Chains A and B, each alone.
Chain A
């Protein structure tokens, strides 16, 4: 059983559509991060959220940390082919020190 469950696992949409990716857990996290990974490369950090209810925006990407710090979401507005990639959430449990990754959401944006 994954500590962090991501949904959906696969998502294929058309350019211009909006989408939301979810990262859920039954555990409380002291911080949560979102990464994007492109083929043949390592993950690259997009954002870190640390406060319950926190919302961060990165251009067309909006990240939210749940009030209870057990879940997070990534919303992309007007998706573009350049958004294609594997999106990974990762978090450190409250009281822990290790970073745990979700299994990832593979996003494909078709022109």
Chain B
């Protein structure tokens, strides 16, 4: 049971570099999302997808792009990394929308931008 798998676990980037955080789930969930977690701020929604080919912005989308070409994968792209994007990133998935459904989180990706 892989659940939600994120890679890489740790990454250090220089300001201006680009990278992609990978996320895959094997539970056939339609709903996938990306959060960032910063001290004292809980988890904040970056982008989400309700199914293949459909994405939408969350609370803090600036500086990030997503795509959903398959049900299983939901990569998060940083086109030009900034120090403010230093954070822990979590990918999550669920059967449907967030109201009352169990959300499964990946183990997190620690990103440092210097």
Contact = CB atoms under 8 A, between A and B. Distances in A.
Interface of A: 2, 4, 9, 30-31, 33, 40-45, 48, 50, 88, 90, 92, 97-104
Interface stretch (B41-49, B68-76, B77-85): B41-49
Interface of B: 4, 35, 40-45, 48, 58-59, 90, 92, 97-100, 102-103, 105-108
A98 B103 contact: no
Nearest to A50: B100
Contacts of B92: 42
Given A42-B92, A45-B102, A102 B97 contact: no
Contacts of B107: 40-42
B100 A48 contact: yes
Interface centre among B43, B100, B106 (most CB of A within 10 A): B43
21 contacts: A2-B42, A4-B42, A31-B99, A41-B108, A42-B4, A42-B90, A42-B106, A42-B108, A43-B43, A43-B105, A44-B105, A92-B98, A92-B99, A97-B98, A98-B58, A98-B59, A100-B45, A101-B35, A101-B44, A103-B41, A103-B42
Contacts, number: 56
A40 B90 CA distance: 11
B100 A9 contact: no
Nearest to A49: B100
Nearest to A97: B97
Nearest to B92: A42
Contact of B105 (A2, A42, A92, A97): A42
A86 to B, nearest CB: 9
